[in-house]
A and B are shown apart, each in its own frame.
Chain A
Amino acid sequence: MGESVDKLTELQIDTIREISNIGMGNAATALSQMVSSAVNITVPRADIVDVADIALMMGGEEVPVAASYVQVVGEARGHLVLAYQTDDAHRLIELIAPGTPLDVMEDEMARSAIQEIGNILSSSFLRSLSDLTRLNLLPTVPAVAVDFAGSILTYIVASMYEITEQLVIVQTEFHIGSETINGLCVFVPEPGALQTILSSLGVGG
Chain B
Amino acid sequence: MAELKIGKPGDRLQALGLGSCIGLVLVDKVTHVGGMVHVMLPHSSVSRDKKPTPAKFADTGVPLLLEEVMRAGAIRSRLIVKLAGGAEMFSFAGQNAPKLAVGTRNAEAVREHLKELNLRIDREDCGGTHGRTFEVDLDTLRFTVKVVGRGEVEL
Contact = CB atoms under 8 A, between A and B. Distances in A.
Interface residues on chain A, size class: 20 to 34
Contacts of B64: none
A176 interface: no
Given A147-B131, A154-B40, A69 B90 contact: yes
Contacts, number: 104
A1 B55 CA distance: 12
A148 B149 CA distance: 10
Interface residues on chain B, size class: 35 or more
B46 interface: yes
Q: Report whether over half of chain A's contact residues are helix, strand or loop; otherwise say mixed.
A: mixed
A64 B133 CA distance: 12
A154 B102 CA distance: 11
Interface in B82-113: 87-93, 96, 98, 100, 102-103, 106
B119 interface: no
A55 B131 CA distance: 13
Contacts of B106: 158
B127 interface: no
A155 B20 contact: yes
A18 interface: no
Contacts of B48: 165
A161 B40 contact: yes
19 contacts: A1-B53, A1-B56, A61-B16, A64-B149, A140-B96, A141-B96, A143-B96, A145-B129, A146-B148, A148-B17, A148-B133, A151-B131, A152-B131, A154-B17, A155-B19, A155-B102, A158-B102, A162-B41, A162-B46
3 interchain residue pairs of minimum CB distance? A150-B17, A151-B131, A61-B17
Interface of B: 1-2, 16-21, 40-41, 46, 48-49, 53, 56, 87-93, 96, 98, 100, 102-103, 106, 129-133, 146, 148-149
